């Protein structure tokens, strides 16, 4: 220590002599509730580390003093002390730290002593009752080759209170020892956690090392939780797998400690060191029994590393791996989830069987129920496979993802079936109602068909196509209703529109009646035409006979009645044409008659008039031989005339060759 440094220390000590002197002279016994600590740590050569100084005090303290004995290989970094601004403010406390004279014994061991002083600027207490109060830095030099101790000694705290004796109340705190190790690297477990099945299946645990110096050996203590044990060789010794970093001369031995833990030692007969500077050193294997709990930890601690110079270096801290019983932690809850699905599924099926008994055996319901059952079984299969191949832990959420979907599917299945039940009920009721409506329309059509075939048989064939078309319309409506029924789409609002069909039925009946009336009218027309034609023919025959009689028997006066005969013929032709016109218009009926009274009277009259004219003429006396027929009348010139010419000589020729001359007055 330099002269200036000692002078500064003396000045600082003098400044607070009144309080520290009292504390040192009248310090109270140590209190268990008051203690100062620092953390264990590792440090590399030439590396600086900040050390936190923790004060846990149940008694209020205004000041604090302590000495740090730093081991060989560790130096205090001057002017590195820092206050904790929460517990020590600049206005309330001053803080100072520097190296002081060590004892001869410590100096011989290379130990340096550094003193920390925390002085109040008045009577302010250190704030709070736990946590860091100060920080300082240390640096490792080339002599930091093995684990050493930092001893906190001469720890004294002061209070602002006074004892009854009038002395300042003070506290002498227990010494504290921390460990510092050269940071030559660090061990690590290649996995933070592993999952094991509780059926004795084996899982590998690998220990890796990142080393900054050559390493020739190590030892560690392995702690296994209850129900977890090491897998062994046939000889009963733990089974190890050597990493590629280990030379052939290094081997692992193990022993059981009194507390049941296993000590592992890696050593060799030569000074050969590990290959490389990182990677797996060795692996061991664990297996779980049925007594293994859901989650526990295996740990490696008390790790000591040997460098190539044979130094034993403590590796601070412990390596911890979480060991998870995959049967309890994953397979059991997965199965519980599946069983929950099964329970809800069975309840859903029971609800369907009870509340939807009418449709429970329908294809749509059976298929829906089976689909959910299949999804549950597929989920069970996936869980079993993942557990068997030991991937269930890593893909647990993925494997169990369908649980929510299946749960929803169960709810949806029940809702669908109950809704389907309502639809089926409405469908059935609507189908019954609409089938009755269709049957009523069919009955009307059948009745119309029967009426036409029975009452209008003569014209029934004319309406075969109409009846067939109406039947197609009825069948189309029936098929449409049946299709909707099969698809369960009929509702209370469903109706059939048979208006057009019913109108068609009424029309075909009316048309058939009209057709029958027309047919009967035609028949009556034909019969009347035949009858009236016969009547006209009879009248015509009478006229023809009268004409022949006049031309034969009253030839000499026949010319006088030519116009009368023609007029009567026109009357007959008029009646005939009228009858033919009515016939063509199908207007003749059974009541139709011809009025030939005037014609017949005219025929009678013309005959009478001709006879009278004949009897009144001289030609009546011109008789031919008995049985001879008059062949013709001729003028003297030889020209044949129709009747004797008045005022001239007429020549009469008869069939027997007789010729007579007659002068017509």
Return the pLDDT at 469.
97
Task: Give the list of residues 6+ apart from residue 248 with CB closer than 8 angstroms, or none.
Answer: none
Report whether pLDDT(650) > 90.
Answer: no
Return the pLDDT at 665.
67
Return the pLDDT at 378.
97
Cβ burial 26-52 (10 Å sphere, 16+ → b, else e): ebbebeeebbbebeebbbebeeebebb
Of 21-35, 310-324, 530-544, 551-565, the least confident? 21-35
Q: Are 413 and 405 in contact (CB under 8 A)?
A: no
Q: How confident is the model at residue 195 (pLDDT cuts 50, 70, 90)?
A: very high
Return the pLDDT at 640.
87
CA-to-CA distance for 556 and 17, rounded, in angstroms? 200
CA-to-CA distance for 544 and 563, rounded, in angstroms? 14
- Cβ-based neighbour number of residue 610 at 10 Å: 25
Higher pLDDT, 393 or 22: 393
Strand partners, 238: 232
Report whether pLDDT(173) > 50.
Answer: yes
Return the pLDDT at 622.
60
Report whether pLDDT(535) > 50.
Answer: yes
Query: What percentage of the chain has pLDDT greater than the value 70?
Result: 94
Report whether pLDDT(590) > 80.
Answer: yes
Higher pLDDT, 314 or 604: 604
Q: How confident is the model at residue 612 (pLDDT cuts 50, 70, 90)?
A: confident
Report whether pLDDT(254) > 90.
Answer: yes
Higher pLDDT, 5 or 253: 253
Q: Are 43 and 138 in contact (CB under 8 A)?
A: yes
Whole-structure pTM over 0.75, yes or no? Answer: no
CA-to-CA distance for 569 and 599, rounded, in angstroms? 9
Return the pLDDT at 31.
44
Q: Are 72 and 149 in contact (CB under 8 A)?
A: no
Report whether pLDDT(337) > 50.
Answer: yes
Q: How confident is the model at residue 269 (pLDDT cuts 50, 70, 90)?
A: confident
Of 3-17, 506-520, 549-563, 601-615, the least confident? 3-17
Report whether pLDDT(3) > 90.
Answer: no
Rounded to the nearest 10 degrees, how much is the dihedral formed by the CA atoms of 271, 276, 277, 281?
Answer: -70
pLDDT in tens, 469-520: 999 999 999 999 999 999 989 999 999 999 999 999 999 999 999 999 888 8
Q: What is the mean pLDDT of the chain?
A: 90
Average pLDDT over residues 560-582: 94
CA-to-CA distance for 235 and 55, rounded, in angstroms? 53
Average pLDDT over residues 342-348: 97
Q: How confident is the model at residue 648 (pLDDT cuts 50, 70, 90)?
A: confident
Report whether pLDDT(226) > 80.
Answer: yes
Report whether pLDDT(53) > 70.
Answer: yes
Return the pLDDT at 28.
43
Report whether pLDDT(13) > 60.
Answer: no
pLDDT in tens, 66-81: 999 999 999 999 999 9
Token digits of residue 88: 């020590």
Return the pLDDT at 613.
83
CA-to-CA distance for 640 and 636, rounded, in angstroms? 9
Give one DSSP letter per residue of 168-212, joined into a string: EEEEEEPPEEEEEEE--EEEEES-SEEEE-TTS-EEEEEEEEEES
Helices within 554-585 (DSSP H only): 555-558, 562-584
Return the pLDDT at 373.
97
Higher pLDDT, 626 or 196: 196
Return the pLDDT at 20.
43
pLDDT in tens, 16-48: 433 444 444 444 444 448 999 999 998 988 999
Cα 422 to Cα 491, 571, 574, distances in angstroms: 10, 86, 81
Q: Are 243 and 175 in contact (CB under 8 A)?
A: no
pLDDT in tens, 273-320: 999 999 999 999 999 999 999 999 999 999 998 888 778 888 878 999
Of 49-53, 163-167, 511-515, 535-539, the least confident? 163-167
Report whether pLDDT(7) > 70.
Answer: no
């Amino acid at each position: 220590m330099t002269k200036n440094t000692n002078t500064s220390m003396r000045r600082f000590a003098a400044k607070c002599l009144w309080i520290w002197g009292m504390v040192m002279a009248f310090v109270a016994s140590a209190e268990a509730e008051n203690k100062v600590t620092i953390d264990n740590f590792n440090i590399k050569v030439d590396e600086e580390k900040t050390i936190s100084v923790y004060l846990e005090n149940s008694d209020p303290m205004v000041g604090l003093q302590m000495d740090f004995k730093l081991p060989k290989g560790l130096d205090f970094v001057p002017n590195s002390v820092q206050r904790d601004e929460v517990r020590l403010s600049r206005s309330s406390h001053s803080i100072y730290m520097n190296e002081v004279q060590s004892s001869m014994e410590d100096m011989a061991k290379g130990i340096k002593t550094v003193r920390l002083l925390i002085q109040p600027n008045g009577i302010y207490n250190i704030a709070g009752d736990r946590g860091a109060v100060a920080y300082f830095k240390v640096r490792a030099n080339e002599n930091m080759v093995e684990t050493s101790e930092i001893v906190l000694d001469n720890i004294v705290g002061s209070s602002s209170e006074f004892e009854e004796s009038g002395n300042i109340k003070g506290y002498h705190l227990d010494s504290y020892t921390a460990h510092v190790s050269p940071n030559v690297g660090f061990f690590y477990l290649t996995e933070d956690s592993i999952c094991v099945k509780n059926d004795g299946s084996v899982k590998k645990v690998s220990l890796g090392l990142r080393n900054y110096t050559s390493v020739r050996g190590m030892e560690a203590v392995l702690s296994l939780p209850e129900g977890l044990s090491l897998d062994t060789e046939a000889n009963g010794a733990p089974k190890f797998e050597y990493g590629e970093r280990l030379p052939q001369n290094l081997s692992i031995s193990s022993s059981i400690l009194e507390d049941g833990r296993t000590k592992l030692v890696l050593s060799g007969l030569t000074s050969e060191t590990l290959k490389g500077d990182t990677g797996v050193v060795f692996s061991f294997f664990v297996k779980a029994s049925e007594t293994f709990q859901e989650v526990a930890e295996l740990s490696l601690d008390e790790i000591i590393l040997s460098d190539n110079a044979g130094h034993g270096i403590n590796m601070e801290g412990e390596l911890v791996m979480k060991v998870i019983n995959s049967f309890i932690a994953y397979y059991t809850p997965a199965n519980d989830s599946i069983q929950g699905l099964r329970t809800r599924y069975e309840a859903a099926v029971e609800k369907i069987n009870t509340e939807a008994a009418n449709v429970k055996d329908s294809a749509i319901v059976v298929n829906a129920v089976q689909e959910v059952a299949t999804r549950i079984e597929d989920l069970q299969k996936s869980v079993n496979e993942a557990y068997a191949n030991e991937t269930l832990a890593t893909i647990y959420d993925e494997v169990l993802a369908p649980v929510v979907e299946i749960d929803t599917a169960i709810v949806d299945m029940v809702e669908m079936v109950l809704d389907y039940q309502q639809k089926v009920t409405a469908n059935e009721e609507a189908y019954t109602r609409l089938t009755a409506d269709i049957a009523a329309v069919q009955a009307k059509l059948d009745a119309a068909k029967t009426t036409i075939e029975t009452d209008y048989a003569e014209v029934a064939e004319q309406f075969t196509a109409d009846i067939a078309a109406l039947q197609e319309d009825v069948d189309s409506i029936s098929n449409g209703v049946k299709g909707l029924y099969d698809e369960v789409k009929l509702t209370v609002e469903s109706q059939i529109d048979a208006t057009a069909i019913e109108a068609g039925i009424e029309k075909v009946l009316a048309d058939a009646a009209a057709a029958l009336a027309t047919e009967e009218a035609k028949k009556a027309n034909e019969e009347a035409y035949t009858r009236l034609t016969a009547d006209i023919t009879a009248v015509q025959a009478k006229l023809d006979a009268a004409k022949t009689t006049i031309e034969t028997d009253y030839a000499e006066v026949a010319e006088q009645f030519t116009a009368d005969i023609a007029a009567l013929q026109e009357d007959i032709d008029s009646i005939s044409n009228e009858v033919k016109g009515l016939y063509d218009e199908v207007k003749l009926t059974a009541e139709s008659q011809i009025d030939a009274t005037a014609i017949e009277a005219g025929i009678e009259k013309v005959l009478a008039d001709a006879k009278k004219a004949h009897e009144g003429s001289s030609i009546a006396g011109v008789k031919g031989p008995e049985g001879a027929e008059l062949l013709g009348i001729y003028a003297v010139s030889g020209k044949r005339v129709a009747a004797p010419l008045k005022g001239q000589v007429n020549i009469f020729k008869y069939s027997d060759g007789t010729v007579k001359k007659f002068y017509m007055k």
